[in-house]
Amino acid sequence: MKLFFNITIILLGLVIGCGTKYPLQFTPINPADGFHFSYTDNDTGIEFMLLEAGNFTMGSPENEEGRDKDEGPQHTVYIDSFYISKYEITQSQWKEIMNKNPSHFKGNPLLPVENVSWNDVQEFIKRLNKKTGLHYRLPTEAEWEYTCRAGTQTAFFSGKEEKFLSEYAWFNNNSAGETHPMGTRMPNQWGIYDMHGNVSEWVEDGVRGYLSRTEYNPKGSPSSVKAIHRGGSWLYPAKLCRSANRMINDKDFATHIVGFRIAIDKDNIGLKSQ
C-alpha cells in the first residue's frame, strides 16, 4: 500500500546559482517501492518527483506485440538521479512563460499544451530557466523510458495486456478524440501521470540506434535534425503507447498530438534525500 505523508516543508530564500533567491516546497512521499521526494516550482506551479539513480532494461523484446525494429537490441542502462515533472506541461504553464497558447484543444487550462515543436520547447525552457535561475531541460530518451517503466519490464507499466491500459492512459479507445486534463487517469508505480497516452512527449535526444552493450546516461546526437517523442497520444492505438515505442519527427514539427514534460538534475535544485 502506498503511504503519502502530509508533511510539507517550505524552504524560503534558498540560494541557487547566480544569487537567485528561490522558494521551494517539497514533500516526502513513501511509495511501496522506496522513498521519494516531490517538489513544486513556486514560480510556475510545476510539480516534480525525484527519481533516484538506478538501472533498467531499455527497449523491447523481439516477441513484444507491436514492436518496431528500432526498439532493440534490449540493453542495460544506468541512470543518475533526476527530477521529472509529475504531469505533462499544461497550457496555463506554457502561456505563463510564452504569453500565448498554440494548442489545438482549448477550454481548460489544465489540458496539456500541444502543437509545439521540439524547437518551440527549447525556447520555452530557455525562458523558464531565465525566470527561475535553474537549468530545466527535456528528459533524455533513457530517462523518459526509466520513468515510464517505473520498475516494470512489460509492454505497459500497467502490464503486458491492453485491457488494463484505459485506467492509466488516454488513447484512441477512450479519449473521444481529444486531450484530457492532467492527472485524470491513474499514475504509474512512481507517481507520474500520463506517461502512456494523452500527448506524446518530446525528449532531448536526437535520433540514434541502440547499442547492445551497457550504457550510462546515454544521449542521442545533439546535431541531429530529427528528435524523438515518446508515450503515444490520445489518437494512437495501444501498441503505439508502449513503454518502448519511439516516434521520430523533424525538430520543427508541431502537431496536436505532441507535447512534453521537463526534467532537472537532482543536484541542480540543491535538495538531497536523506
Please choose, from the candidates 79, 85, 183, the residue with its C-alpha nearest in 3D space to the C-alpha of residue 136.
85
Mind listing the domains of the chain with CATH numbers? 3-269 (3.90.1580.10)
* 241 and 69 Cβ atoms separated by less than 8 Å: no
Q: What angle do CA 228, 232, 238 make, to 5 degrees?
A: 140
Which regions of the chain are under pLDDT 70?
A: 1-36, 270-274
Q: Which residues contact 179 (CB under 8 A, 6 or more apart)?
A: 105, 111, 112, 114, 170, 198, 199, 234, 256
Which residue's C-alpha cell is 504531469? 87
Question: Dihedrals φ, ψ of 218, to 5°?
Answer: -70, 150
In single-letter form, the type of residue at position 45 comes to G
The pLDDT tens digits for 89-138 are 999 999 999 999 999 999 999 999 999 999 999 999 999 999 999 999 99
Sequence length of the chain is 274
d(CA 48, CA 83): 6
pLDDT digits (tens, 9 = 90+) for 178-209: 999 999 999 999 999 999 999 999 999 889 99
